[in-house]
Structure 1
């Protein structure tokens, strides 16, 4: 089960922590149609919760859990560093912290980011619902404790990246895709431009299929001037995304350079059905297998350094 979700090192670590009941829950969620990325995050958070509970209580994570245990989780992860300087018992106990660090599960110094704690509580609640049991996650005392802990948490909110990708960086990356007859260059150019133009996440772009594309009539380059030169327009069906279901029929329009780059790639690669962005082996031969989402840039996390790493990763 974990083999299809996690990298090898994380898979080995979580296999020790997750119980048979945990594995059965993850299998049920996979069959229910939860996205691969969401399921991967669930597995990772469940492994962390199991390890934390073992370190904090000496027992596996109970199901259903108690309100007291959920409150303990909040107290161990959202605390005031200034208060801890005067009271070493404040926040997560040293023994619990050392155990989690030894397992490679705790890397931050100080209290957790609020969004991480909220996400793990939400995933904890999801696991309860999937097992058909009630949890304490809507209890007034837990909500109040979380709200107060957030106020006491003085960790400042920071940007995920101090070096966000700008148009200059994108153009610099595009200059590395020099040859119009070379499959990998044309693919990478289309991949980068479609990712940026559509704002898609890596799983959405990597999972794009020809059947998801609708070729619309060309539109004026300048919307304010109907007589301006016409440029191609494509509509992409996104299917299931992180924020929508397949029934929502979410779509995004791609116009101009990005649409042209994608059409050029499909024409050169002679792709008429199936995956749009495919693997190319070291000898320049096109494969029928879609690109791995982990080697695809993500507009939600893309920065200058990761963009350059991506170009190295996808180029033979």
Structure 2
């Protein structure tokens, strides 16, 4: 790979690249389309999957096809009037309510963390290192994900070298890039230590139990308690979260990794945070994005469980 190709590749996020590659393969292999495509063939492709794929998936397919044509020096057929009109018709005839993750309620967060602490103490007494490690890792991931409003990919890309934690004081986390950081300038996040459900102490307990000094914060753990050298994949956060909640006796089928982010946003909103502060803390650029995460049903407000954290 040339230096030019390396920088061009770095301009597109890995998840986006994989999604676009899969979309192009679907158009060519699954549907039998040809590239470069005509506006008419793309319109027929949309019609073929109008009742099967969601609006968002069809939008992603169009974006992938547009990117392919632009990168290869061809005119973009997805901008043709017939394609736009067909897509508008699909939206009208196949309206679908956007699915949202169930917000993790504070009482369920407390229940899960209490259970994980019980698991950790029992494992420590029994000399069960694999169970101890999993309990400490899961508690740290859930509490950091909730109180910092992190996405699953952000949690998985945290590096120990970029984290500074001080027991009883707070934690500072640096992410070189994230979805909301379009310019890849890097962003530093801060969260204070709490009296209860403390993400700072949970992080320290996990790092100490795992004896980690560098590399990914959150990693896989095998049955013998061996830690992976690689960080967790973002797709593994959902089963990890659900398993932890189910062990604590919480029905978890409706929870996803976004449940942590949405749960915090809803809690903060119901606890009196103004929308501007919430957007700044979580990293939303527009109000529409923020409001999709704020649940209308009030959570019980837990006074003084957390100061209003700081984001730099």
Selected match of 2:49 from 64, 67, 77: 77
- Whose relative contact order is higher, 1 or 2, with alpha carbons under 8 Å and at least 6 apart? 2
Note if 1:37 corresponds to 2:10: no
Q: Could you list the runs of 5+ residues in structure 1 that have no partner in the other structure?
A: 1-23, 55-59, 79-109, 219-230, 310-316
**SS state at 1:41 partner:** helix
TM-score computed with the length of structure 1 as normaliser: 0.61
Does the C-alpha gap of structure 1 residues 165 and 70 become closer, same or farther in structure 2, counting only changes over 3 Å? same
Question: Deviation of residue 194 (structure 1)?
Answer: 1.3
Q: 1:46 to 1:29 in 2, by over 3 A?
A: farther
Q: How does 1:139-288 map to 2 (within 5 A)?
A: 139-151=80-92, 153-161=93-101, 163-177=102-116, 178=118, 179-180=120-121, 181=124, 182-215=132-165, 231-245=168-182, 247-256=184-193, 257-288=198-229
Distance 1:44 1:30 in 2: 22
TM-score normalised by the chain length of structure 2: 0.62
CA contact (8 A) 2:145 2:151 kept: yes
| Gap change, CA 1:307 and 1:255, over 3 Å in 2 | farther
Number of aligned positions between the proteins: 230
Give the aligned partner of residue 303 of structure 2. Answer: none
Classify 1:119/1:280 alpha carbon distance in 2 versus 1 (closer, same or farther; 3 Å).
same
In 2, the alpha carbon distance for the partners of 1:120 and 1:292 equals 24
Is 1:304 the equivalent of 2:252? yes
- Cα distance in structure 1, aligned partners of 2:104 and 2:6: 35
SS at match of 1:254: strand
Give deviations 1:7-52, integer Å, cap 9, x for gaps: xxxxxxxxxxxxxxxxx9xxx6997023332222222222221235
Q: Which runs of 5+ in 2 are unaligned?
A: 125-131, 246-250, 258-312
